[in-house]
Structure 1
Amino acid sequence: MIDLFDATPDDPEKKTGAAQVAPRPLADRLRPRSLSEVIGQQQVLGPEAPLGTMLSAGSLSSLIFWGPPGVGKTTIARLLADETDLTFIQISAIFTGVPELRKVFEAAKLRRTNGQGTLLFVDEIHRFNKAQQDGFLPYMEDGTILLVGATTENPSFELNSAVLSRSQVLVLERLDLRDLELLAQRAEKEMQQALPLDGPAREALLEMADGDGRALLNLIEQVSAWPEAKAGEKLDTATLSTRLMRRATKYDKSGDEHYNLISALHKSVRGSDPDAALYWFARMLTGGEDPRFLARRITRMAVEDIGFADPQAQTHCLHAWETYERLGSPEGELALAQAVIYLALAPKSNGAYVAYKSAMAAARQTGSEPPPKHILNAPTSLMKDQGYGDGYAYDHDAADGFSGQNYFPETMKRGVYYQPVDRGFERELKRRVDYFVKLRAKRGSG
C-alpha cells in the first residue's frame, strides 16, 4: 500500500493562466482516493481482514499501524476518516508538544459537541514520552478522538501498555515486487509515457525501492526526466545502476531490524544452513553493524547451540574474533564469515546450556541449603566435633577412582541437569555420564 492520492478535478496543475503553480510530485498525484485503490496490505484491508471487518460492521476502534516507511500508514488513516465521516487531523510526534496537543484535544471536544467525530492520526507516535502517551487516554476512553498511531518501531517496546490495551495493532508489510510493478504501471499511466528501461533494468529499479512505494515513485520521477524517456530509448541495468544509487538498506542498529536480523542469523546457524547464515551475516554488515557485535554473538552461538558437540567451535570463534581485531575491516570480516560457516556445519547440542539453566533454577528454588557435612573442610577441632568432613570418601582411594558419594544438600533430592546428546564429541561425554550413573547405582545398591 502506498501513501498516494490521485489528482482532484480542481487540480491547480490543470489550471491555466498567470496563477500557474509548480507541478505536484508524482507521489502526491497518485494518492489513492478510496481504500479499494490501495496497493497491497490485503492482510489488513481484505474483506475478512481486521479493517475490512471493522468497516463492514460500522465499528472502528483505535489503531496502531506498525510497518516500514512508504507502505501507506498515512494514506490508510486518511481514507479511514473518509469512510467513517470523521474529521481527519494529522500531527507528528516529532514536532508536537504538550501545548499543541491540548489545542488538538480541545478542538476535538468542541467538534464532538457539534456531533462530529475526530480521527487523530499521530505519525511517529513512539517518539512521545510516557507522560505524553498517557495524555491520550481520557480522550480515547470518552470517545473524543479515535486514535490512529503510526510507528516504524515495535509497539511492544515503544508504546505504553495502557495505550496498547485500548488499541488494535495492525502490521503493514513492505511492498513486494508485484505490488511495486502495479504502482509503476499506475505511474506510467499518470505520466502518459513508459519508463525508458528494458526488462532487467525495470526489475532492477523495483528492487532499488526495497519495498518502499514512495521511494519507487521518486525513482520513477527521476528516470522519466532523462532524455531517453522523451526519445523512446531503452536503458539497460548497467546504465541504470550508474545513474541511480541503490536505496540504503533499511537497518537500525538499535531497532527492530537489528534484532530481527541477528535472530535470523542465529536460527540459520542453529538450523545448520551455512548459506542462509552467510546471507544474514552479510545483510548485517552491509547495514553497518559493528563486526565486534557479530563476533560476540557468533561466540555465544557456539556456547549455546553447539557446546560439547564440538568443543573446538568456541575456540574457532575466539580465534576469528582475535583475527578481526588484528586485521580490522574489511579483511577481518572474512575470519568471522569462516566462523559462521564452521558453526552452521558443526554438530549441535544445547545440553550444557539447558543444564546451566536448570541448575540456576534449582539454585534459586533451594535458597541457602548447605552442602552435606561430609564434603566440608574441618580446619578446627570445633568443626570436626560438628561432623565436618566426617565420612568423606577420597575418590582416588577407590579402585576405579569413583566413590559415588552424594554431593547435593542432604535435604535436597539429587538433580539431573546435564543430559548430553548422542552427537559429535558429546557422544563421548554421554558415554562417560552413563558410565558414572551405572557406578553410582552400583555403589548405592551395595
Structure 2
Amino acid sequence: MADLFGNDAPAPARDDTPRDDAPLADRLRPRALAEIIGQDHLTGPEGAIGRMVAAGKLSSMILWGPPGTGKTSIARLLADEVNMRFVSISAVFSGVADLKKAFAEADKMAQAGQRTLLFVDEIHRFNRAQQDGFLPFVERGTVTLVGATTENPSFALNAALLSRAQVLILERLDHAALEALLTRAEQLEGPLPLTEDARAALLASADGDGRFLLGQAETLYNASLNQPLDPGALGAFLQRRVAVYDKDRDGHYNLISALHKSLRGSDPQAALYYMARMLTAGEEPLYVLRRLVRFASEDIGLADPQALTQCLAAKDAYEFLGSPEGELAIVQACLYCATAPKSNAAYAAQKSAFKAARETGSLRPPANILNAPTKLMKDIGYGANYSYDHNAEEGFSGDNYWPEEMAPQVYYEPVERGFERKIRERIEYWDRLREERHPRSVGEAVAQKDA
C-alpha cells in the first residue's frame, strides 16, 4: 500500500507464528525460501522461483508435485519475499462467490498500489468454467496466480490457463531431504524413540511425503514411549502407509505406462515391480489382466502365440481363485510376456490393413472366389475358374485374391524372432511358388511394399 509520499510501503505483517499446540508440521513450516527442503532446483539462486524473487517480480505459476513437498509453503513465502498481499483459497471448499470476493478485493487493493498473490490449493478441482474465470484477472495483473496441484496440469487444467502460467514441478523428497526434515523435528521435540534401523524404516515409509513423515513422528512423540522401537515394533505401532495412487488419474496412467514399457523392453523385474505397485495400491486386477492381454497381441503377437493363451488363462485362474491366490497367475502372465520374444508385426499389419480397407472399401473381390448360390450368379461368372487349393500341387494354387482394381499389398511382415521366424519362412516359400505360377501378382506386391 502506498505511503503519504506515494512510495510503496511494506505490506502489513502477517502473523504466521503457530500456536504451541499446533501440529508438528505447522510448527516446522519454513519461515523463508532458504528453509524449503528438497526443491533447490526451483528455490535456489539458479531456479525459476529463485530468479523471480531476485528480480522482485513474480509470474503466475502452477506448482505441480506430490503431496507433502512444500507447495503451500512456497506460495506463502513468495508473497513475503516480493512484498505482496497473500490470499489463499481452496478449490475443495470455495465456490464462485468466494472467487468473486477475492477478485473484487484484489482489484481494490491494486488501485491502492498493493499487489495480490492469490494461492489456489487443489486448483485442478475447479471445473473448466471456473478456471476460465481466472483469465481476465490474471491478464490484467489484478492477481498473480499461484495454483497448487497433485494432478498432471496437461489433463487437469484448461489450455488457456496453462498458457498464462508457468508450470513448475516439485520433486518428491529424497532420502537426504527427509532426513533433514526429521532432524529439524528432533531438534524441536527431542530424539525419536526409535532404534537406528527403525528410524531408517520410518524415513522409507514416507515415500517422499514430508507431511506424512512429520505426522508419523508426531504420533511417536505423543505416545510417550518408554523404550525405543525396533522396525518390527514400529510397523505394528504405526499404520501402514497407503500407496499414492489415483486409479482414474495421473498416477494410474503413469504406472500402466511404466508397466507396458517394461514389458516391451523385456525387463521382467521392472515389469513385476510396476505391476505390484498397481495391485498393492488397490488397482482392479482384471484391469491389469486386460492390459496384459492387449500387450500379448500388440507387442508379442505371433512371435510367441502362447503369450495370449497365458494371459487368458491367468484371467480364468484369477476369476476362479480370487485374491490373493489368483494374483500369482497374473504374476505368471506378466513374467511370460516380459520374457517372450517381441513383435509388433500383427499390430502394424492391423493398422495398415484397416487404413486400406477404409480407403478401398467399395472394391469387389475377384469373381472367381465369390460363392454362387444361384443360377444367375453362376451365369455372370461368380465362382468360375476357382482353383481349389487342396487339389493343387503342394496344396497351394497361388491364385490372386485381390480386387482387380487393386494391386496385391503387403501388410504383415513377420520379424526374425521367435515363432515369427518360422512364419516368415512359410510366407517366403509361398511367395516363391506364387512367383513361379503367377509372376505378376508377386511382383506388384513387392513394388507396392517398396513404394
Q: TM-score, normalised by structure 2?
A: 0.88
Instruction: Tell me how far 1:276 sits from its aligned partner.
Output: 2.0
Match of 2:210 among 185, 190, 213: 213
| Matching of residue 362 in structure 1 with residue 359 in structure 2 | no
Higher mean C-alpha deviation, range 250-259 or range 387-396:
387-396
Match of 1:375 among 366, 369, 387: 369
SS at match of 1:31: coil
Q: Partners in 1 of 2:334 and 2:257 — Cα distance?
A: 14
Q: 8 Å contact 2:18–2:27 — kept in the other structure? A: no
Instruction: Tell me how far 1:174 sits from its aligned partner.
Output: 1.3
Instruction: Tell me how far 1:39 sits from its aligned partner.
Output: 0.5
Q: Partners in 2 of 1:351 and 1:12 — Cα distance?
A: 63
The 3 A distance-change label for structure 1 pair 322 and 163 is same
Letter in 2 for 1:308: L
Which residue of structure 1 lines up, in the alignment, with residue 395 of structure 2?
401
Letter in 2 for 1:122: V
Match of 1:89 among 72, 87, 90: 87
Q: Partners in 2 of 1:200 and 1:363 — Cα distance?
A: 64
Letter in 2 for 1:82: D
Which residue of structure 1 lines up, in the alignment, with residue 102 of structure 2?
104
Letter in 1 for 2:412: Y
Instruction: Tell me how far 1:337 sits from its aligned partner.
Output: 1.3
Q: Partners in 2 of 1:295 and 1:12 — Cα distance?
A: 50
Letter in 1 for 2:220: V
Which residue of structure 2 lines up, in the alignment, with residue 284 of structure 1?
278
Match of 2:222 among 221, 225, 238: 225
Which residue of structure 2 lines up, in the alignment, with residue 427 of structure 1?
421
The 3 A distance-change label for structure 1 pair 64 and 178 is same
Which residue of structure 2 lines up, in the alignment, with residue 68 of structure 1?
66
| Matching of residue 199 in structure 1 with residue 193 in structure 2 | no
Letter in 2 for 1:225: N
Letter in 2 for 1:205: L
Which residue of structure 2 lines up, in the alignment, with residue 253 of structure 1?
247
Q: 8 Å contact 2:414–2:424 — kept in the other structure? A: yes
Higher mean C-alpha deviation, range 174-183 or range 271-280:
271-280
Instruction: Tell me how far 1:127 sits from its aligned partner.
Output: 1.1
Higher mean C-alpha deviation, range 300-309 or range 396-405:
396-405
Letter in 2 for 1:151: T
SS at match of 1:153: coil
Q: Partners in 2 of 1:111 and 1:266 — Cα distance?
A: 52
Q: 8 Å contact 2:415–2:424 — kept in the other structure? A: yes
Letter in 2 for 1:318: L
List alignment gaps of at least 5 residues for structure 2. Answer: 1-13, 441-451
The 3 A distance-change label for structure 1 pair 43 and 394 is farther
Match of 1:410 among 399, 404, 408: 404
Task: Please list the CA deviations of residues 103-146 of structure 1 after superposition, one character each: whole Å capped at 9, or x if unmatched.
Answer: 11111111111112111111111111111111111111111111
Q: Partners in 2 of 1:79 and 1:12 — Cα distance?
A: 15
Match of 1:347 among 336, 341, 344: 341
Q: TM-score, normalised by structure 1?
A: 0.89
| Matching of residue 237 in structure 1 with residue 231 in structure 2 | yes
Q: Partners in 1 of 2:17 and 2:57 — Cα distance?
A: 33
Matched residue count: 427
Q: Partners in 1 of 2:111 and 2:82 — Cα distance?
A: 18
The 3 A distance-change label for structure 1 pair 421 and 80 is same
Instruction: Tell me how far 1:288 sits from its aligned partner.
Output: 1.1
Letter in 2 for 1:227: S
Runs of 4+ in 1 over 6 A off after TM superposition: none
Q: Partners in 1 of 2:259 and 2:251 — Cα distance?
A: 12
Match of 2:328 among 319, 334, 346: 334
The 3 A distance-change label for structure 1 pair 424 and 12 is closer
Instruction: Tell me how far 1:307 sits from its aligned partner.
Output: 1.3
Instruction: Tell me how far 1:355 sits from its aligned partner.
Output: 1.1
Instruction: Tell me how far 1:282 sits from its aligned partner.
Output: 1.8
Letter in 2 for 1:31: R
The 3 A distance-change label for structure 1 pair 137 and 409 is farther
Q: Partners in 1 of 2:384 and 2:350 — Cα distance?
A: 30
SS at match of 2:410: coil
The 3 A distance-change label for structure 1 pair 62 and 365 is farther
Q: Partners in 2 of 1:376 and 1:361 — Cα distance?
A: 24
Q: Partners in 2 of 1:132 and 1:9 — Cα distance?
A: 31
Instruction: Tell me how far 1:383 sits from its aligned partner.
Output: 5.0
Q: Partners in 1 of 2:433 and 2:258 — Cα distance?
A: 44
SS at match of 2:120: strand
Letter in 1 for 2:118: L
Which residue of structure 2 lines up, in the alignment, with residue 79 of structure 1?
77
Q: Partners in 2 of 1:369 and 1:52 — Cα distance?
A: 65
Which residue of structure 2 lines up, in the alignment, with residue 52 of structure 1?
50
Task: Please list the CA deviations of residues 312-363 of structure 1 after superposition, one character each: whole Å capped at 9, or x if unmatched.
Answer: 1111111111111111111111111111122222222211111112212222
| Matching of residue 177 in structure 1 with residue 175 in structure 2 | yes
SS at match of 2:148: strand
Root mean square deviation, CA, Å: 2.4
SS at match of 1:227: coil
Which residue of structure 1 lines up, in the alignment, with residue 26 of structure 2?
28
The 3 A distance-change label for structure 1 pair 10 and 370 is closer
**How much identity, in percent, do the aligned residues show?**
60
Q: Partners in 1 of 2:185 and 2:356 — Cα distance?
A: 64
Which residue of structure 1 lines up, in the alignment, with residue 11 of structure 2?
none
Task: Please list the CA deviations of residues 365-398 of structure 1 after superposition, one character each: whole Å capped at 9, or x if unmatched.
Answer: 4453333444334455665666555554443443
The 3 A distance-change label for structure 1 pair 363 and 168 is farther
Q: Partners in 2 of 1:408 and 1:138 — Cα distance?
A: 60
Q: 8 Å contact 2:18–2:26 — kept in the other structure? A: no
SS at match of 2:217: helix
Q: Partners in 2 of 1:9 and 1:105 — Cα distance?
A: 23
Which residue of structure 2 lines up, in the alignment, with residue 3 of structure 1?
none
Letter in 1 for 2:323: S
Which residue of structure 2 lines up, in the alignment, with residue 154 of structure 1?
152
The 3 A distance-change label for structure 1 pair 359 and 185 is same
The 3 A distance-change label for structure 1 pair 375 and 50 is farther
SS at match of 2:207: coil
